[in-house]
Amino acid sequence: MALDREAMAAWFAELERVYAANQERLTELDSAIGDADHGSNMARGFSAVKADLDKAAATGIAGMLKAAATTLIKTVGGASGPLYGTFFLRAGAVCPDKPLLDAADVAAMFRAGIEGVVQRGKAAPQDKTMVDALFPALEAMESSRGSGASLGEMLHHAAAAAESGMQATIPMQARKGRASYLGARSIGHQDPGATSSWLLFRAAADVWRAA
């Protein structure tokens, strides 16, 4: 089964809902090791994405992803806007003019987006950032795809791996971003960026579970 424009719109609608529902939790996590604005930034950004896509004339999947990137860069403060904007911009670049995305396309889309995040943020695994959720998710996605998993199964495994990666940030000491200024005091706190990255995958898995 392949994803069409309506399936992509459903993902963005779910992202708006999920980040609004988890705004307080993300803010709580960010207040411990950051600027206490990650929850409000993500909720505001994806609300703006949903509104802009609703108002826009019908575009293809690549156009939707690029439009989301532009909106996030304009509306989300701190590092989150450029990082998530880069994710969607790179994701859109690998599926130009495709009206439907199969499992291989979706895997390529996520890989391009994650590689863009790494290039933009200069973070590596174990730095206690969103990369610690994104990398395990990508590895699980590509591994399950190589084993013949369906798109829905592939995303289910990716979301589970992202959740494990998110939880693994708790004992880490931050080596990037605002949290790194805390040194050893960052240990014992779950990274908010890894948490919002897990939510990104969970939303995709929930919306596209039947694919």
Each residue's pLDDT tens digit, 64-83? 999 999 999 999 978 899 99
Listed in sequence order, the DSSP H helices in the chain are 5-21, 23-33, 38-55, 61-75, 80-93, 103-121, 131-146, 151-168, 192-207
Residue 57 confidence (pLDDT) above 80:
no
Q: What single-letter amino acid sits at 27? A: T
Q: Which tens digit of pLDDT belongs to each residue from 78-133?
A: 889 999 999 999 999 998 888 999 999 999 999 999 999 999 999 999 999 999 99
Residue 56 has pLDDT above 90, yes or no: no
**Cα pseudo-dihedral 45, 47, 49, 52, rounded to 10:** -130
What was the pLDDT predicted at 172?
Answer: 97
Q: Is the pLDDT of residue 1 over 90?
A: no
Residue 21: which residues within 8 A CB-CB, separation 6 or more? none
Please tell me the distance from the alpha carbon of residue 91 to that of residue 75, in angstroms, as a whole number.
19
What are the residue boundaries of the structural domains of the chain, listed by start? 5-207
pLDDT on residue 55: 83
pLDDT(210) > 80: no
Fold of 5-207: 1.25.40
Band (pLDDT 50/70/90 cuts) for residue 177 is confident
Q: What percent of the chain has pLDDT over 90?
A: 84
What mean pLDDT, rounded, does the chain reach?
Answer: 94
